[in-house]
A and B are shown apart, each in its own frame.
Chain A
Amino acid sequence: MTTSHAAVSSLLAAWTTCACSPDEADAVEAHLRTCETCRADVRGLAEATRSLAPQETQPPEEIRDKVLAATDRPDIPDYARAYAATVSALSALLKELDADDDVTEQLSRLTAADRLVADQLGVRDQKTWQQQADAICCALTRKPLPPELMLARAYETWICARDIAMATYKELPPPPPEHLHAIAGFAASLLPYAAAYRRMAQPDIVVRLVLAGPGGGTWSLPLEDHGVITVEMTMDTEAFCLLMAARTPPRSVDVMIRGDVELGYDLLDAGPALVAR
């Protein structure tokens, strides 16, 4: 089956109405992944099928229950929901990869890092990242763990998923605001440790971190709100999380610093210091 642009282009209307053979459909789908002209064409053709779709008809009541029952997930305790969410996202991403996309390196690193949590939950002998993550989520419904530990896992799972998305040219949305907020809070709590690691910590430094955009919030660090705010830094929430994960160079983050500006920049430079490389 030829996959030339001209051949596929003439098939697009047939493809949109499911009127071509399975081989032709495969060829069209493969071509669409790389041809923006044909993708734009399909957008218009797909819209046209709206007028073919009949009047909405209420399905029988039990269909809704069947859908929800078939897609049910374990009831994860609140403090671990960010982790379960990022596991879902990485799992979804892995399903879209081709045979040629090799992500074993990223996944084995993540699987190894998750092992600490797995061991604490009595989860053993899982062969793949997915199996271990699913077993961890299941075990979490029965045994509690420190919230910071699960937030650290959520953070690392999301960053790993994002790394894989970038390496395979796939698009992955960032975590929804509630989870991004939890992850950002955890990343913010790392700043004092990063400062100490770089021997910058002084007892009377208080940093106010203002994160903007979805999942945003304000944190004062150290967490006990005593003393005078020495420096205030404002930036986008997701950008801050990526900075602390050493995925964005500190100097390319769009940040507003008030107060001790030099200290602010030093803190940003120090932030990613805790990431294992």
Chain B
Amino acid sequence: MDGDSRQRLVYGDHSALAEVYESYGASVYAVALCVTGDTAVASDITVDAFVRLWDRPLAYDPSQASLKCWLAMLAHRLAVDWLRENNIAPGDRVTADRPVALAALPDLTRQAVELAYFDGRTYQQIAIELGIPAGTAKARLRAGLRELAAAL
């Protein structure tokens, strides 16, 4: 139970952190690896994500997302930050296979979601790269996530 794990983490129960790692370490590592394409960087990001959870357990709000989802989003954010700090161009790293759910999206929304999630582009950059208005880029991201949510 995410609520119980969080309660134990808040009250400094180290074994709770070990359990959360057992449950979600693989998921966190997978996100970091598919975005950065680098096992060493992905390892560092994985450690960083769990250390941050331990350091600020009350930053996790169970009413916003499951713990697994929250950790995956944190890993994604750290990975995208790394891409941006290191100015990684798409050709510079190993690209992982894209999830099946992405292929099911219409081309225009799929493009925007892929650039955002996997290539760490901001919506402004997506707008420039695709030659569309910024508002349209934002809207395509929203439409893409809506469709993915509906298909769950």
Contact of A176 among B13, B18, B25 (CB under 8 A): B13
The answer on a CB contact under 8 Å between B27 and A19 is no
Contact of B148 among A52, A58, A64, A170 (CB under 8 A): A52
Bound complex: CA A63 to CA B22 (Å): 11
The answer on a CB contact under 8 Å between B21 and A64 is yes
Residues of chain B from 102 to 152 with CB closer than 8 A to chain A in the complex? 102, 113, 116-117, 120-124, 126, 135, 137-139, 141-142, 144-146, 148-149, 151-152
Who on chain A is nearest to B139 by CB?
A10
Bound complex: CA A77 to CA B128 (Å): 60
The answer on a CB contact under 8 Å between A17 and B141 is yes
Residues of chain A from 197 to 215 with CB closer than 8 A to chain B in the complex? none
The answer on a CB contact under 8 Å between B8 and A176 is yes
Chain A residue numbers with a CB within 8 Å of B63 are: 39, 43
Contact of B29 among A16, A44, A48, A59 (CB under 8 A): A59
The answer on a CB contact under 8 Å between A71 and B117 is no
Contact of A51 among B13, B55, B59, B151 (CB under 8 A): B151
The answer on a CB contact under 8 Å between A18 and B152 is no
The answer on a CB contact under 8 Å between A72 and B56 is no
- The reply on A53 being an interface residue by CB < 8 A is yes
Closest Cβ–Cβ distance, residue A138 to chain B (whole Å): 14
The answer on a CB contact under 8 Å between A49 and B56 is no
Chain B residue numbers with a CB within 8 Å of A72 are: 14
The answer on a CB contact under 8 Å between A10 and B113 is no
Who on chain B is nearest to A59 by CB?
B29
- The reply on A13 being an interface residue by CB < 8 A is yes
The answer on a CB contact under 8 Å between B29 and A50 is no
Chain B binding site: helix, strand, loop or mixed by DSSP? helix
Who on chain A is nearest to B119 by CB?
A19
- The reply on A73 being an interface residue by CB < 8 A is yes
- The reply on A227 being an interface residue by CB < 8 A is no
Chain A residue numbers with a CB within 8 Å of B88 are: none
The answer on a CB contact under 8 Å between A54 and B97 is yes
Who on chain B is nearest to A180 by CB?
B11
Bound complex: CA A39 to CA B27 (Å): 24
The answer on a CB contact under 8 Å between A173 and B3 is yes
The answer on a CB contact under 8 Å between B148 and A48 is yes
Contact with B along A179-202 (1 / 0, CB 8 A): 100000000000000000000000
The answer on a CB contact under 8 Å between A16 and B14 is no
Bound complex: CA A92 to CA B120 (Å): 31
Bound complex: CA A258 to CA B7 (Å): 34
Interface centre among A57, A68, A179 (most CB of B within 10 A): A57
Who on chain A is nearest to B97 by CB?
A54
The 6 A-B pairs at the shortest CB distance, nearest first, are namely A88-B12, A56-B26, A13-B142, A51-B101, A59-B29, A19-B116
Since A18-B77, A45-B145 are in contact, a sample of 19 more A-B pairs with Cβ atoms closer than 8 Å, ordered by chain A residue number, is A13-B141, A16-B73, A18-B81, A21-B124, A43-B63, A43-B65, A44-B146, A47-B149, A48-B145, A49-B73, A53-B31, A63-B25, A63-B29, A64-B25, A87-B12, A88-B10, A95-B56, A95-B59, A176-B11
